[in-house]
Structure 1
Amino acid sequence: MTKAATLQQALTRFLDPTGLDRQRQRVCTHLLACRTEAMGGMVLQCSDCAHVQPHYFGCRDRHCPQCQGRAIEQWAERQQANILPVRYYHVVFTLPHSLNGWVQLHPEVIHRLLFQSAWQTLRTFGRDPKRLGGEMGMIAVLHTWGQNLSQHVHLHCLIPGGALGDDGRWRGAHSNYLFPVRALSCHFRGHMVSALRKAANAGDLHRVNRPGDVDAQLNTLMATDWVVYSKDCLEHTHTVVR
C-alpha cells in the first residue's frame, strides 16, 4: 500500500477530517495530491518506441516524505561533513505540554523563543569559567510531535563536547552528560518564561487575550519541572545526525 493510500485510509476510517485544523487539512490535501494528476505535470515520450510516460509534479510540502527526502539527505550530508573529531553530546530541551495551546496560537513566536532559550542556556553554561570557559557550538532540530503523534514540542541538539576559549585553545568536556541536567532545566525554564513574558508585553502573543491568562500560565510554568535530557554519543554521533 502506498503512503498516500495509507493516509487516505486513516482519514476515512480513523480520523474525522473536519476535526483537523486548517493547516493540517492543507498538509493532508498536499500529501494526497503529490505526484498525481491533481498537481499537473508533463508527458515524456520515447523517440524510438513512442512509449508515453506521464510525470506528475510533487507538492513540495515540507511534511511530504516524497518531496523532502532528498532535502533531508543533503542536510544530513552537510552536517556529517562538519562533525569535529571530538566527543559529542545529545541534549533535548522539551516544552511542557501546558504550552501546547500557545504553540498552536503563535507557533512562530514560541518556536523562535525555544531555539533562543536553549542556545542561551548552553552558551551561559559553556562560558562559565568554572565549567568550560569558552564559546560552544550547536546543531539543533525542532520536533513538534512525539512518536505517538501527539503534540510534543522539543529541540534536539547535537553539541561538540567542549568550548573554544578566548585564548583560541580547545577545552574539552569530560562528563557523561555535559552539564548537570537539573541546573540546565532550571536555567532554561527561567529564560523561556522571561522571554514569554516579554513577548506578551510586546503584543507578540496577542491571540492569548483572556484576562489573566498570561500571568496564570507563566506562574504555572515556573512551578513545573521542565525536562532536559543529556547524554554523550561518543560512539554514534553520525547516527544521531541522521
Structure 2
Amino acid sequence: MVILMSNVITIQDVFHQFLPKYSETHLFSSEQHMAALCISKCKTAEMGANISECESCHKKYIHYNSCKNRHCPMCQGMEVDEWIDKYYISVIPTLLGNGVRLLGNIDREIKLRLCKTQTYNGITDLIYMRR
C-alpha cells in the first residue's frame, strides 16, 4: 500500500525511493539504466537550469532542464489525460477527507460522455468515454 504525502506521486518519486535498493538485487540493460537515471534527474539541479526574470516585478524564476529521454513521462508532449479514452469511476459512499486527485492538476476541461451506470452493494460505477 502506498500512502501519498501529496496529491500527486510521480515515477520520479518512486525511482528516488525504491530504485537504489531494487538495483542491488536486479540487473538492468544499459538502456534501462540510462532511462532510470534520466527520469531520476529530470528537471532537477543535476540537469542544469535557466533563470528568467519577470520584466514588471523583477522576480527571478529557476527553470530546471529536462532530460529529453523518450521514456521520461515529464519530457513527453502528451498530457496524461490524453492517454485515457475510457474512464471507469466507482463511487463508494465513504468520506476520505480531501481525497486524492486521479490525474493531478488538469488545466483544461475534458469532455466526456456518460455511457453506462450500474449500482451494486451501495457502490455506483460510472463509465465515461471521451467525446
TM-score range, shorter chain: 0.3 to 0.5
> With structure 2 as the length reference, what TM-score do the two structures score?
0.47
Larger Rg: 1
Compare the two structures and name the one with the higher helix fraction.
1
> With structure 1 as the length reference, what TM-score do the two structures score?
0.27
Compare the two structures and name the one with the higher strand fraction.
2
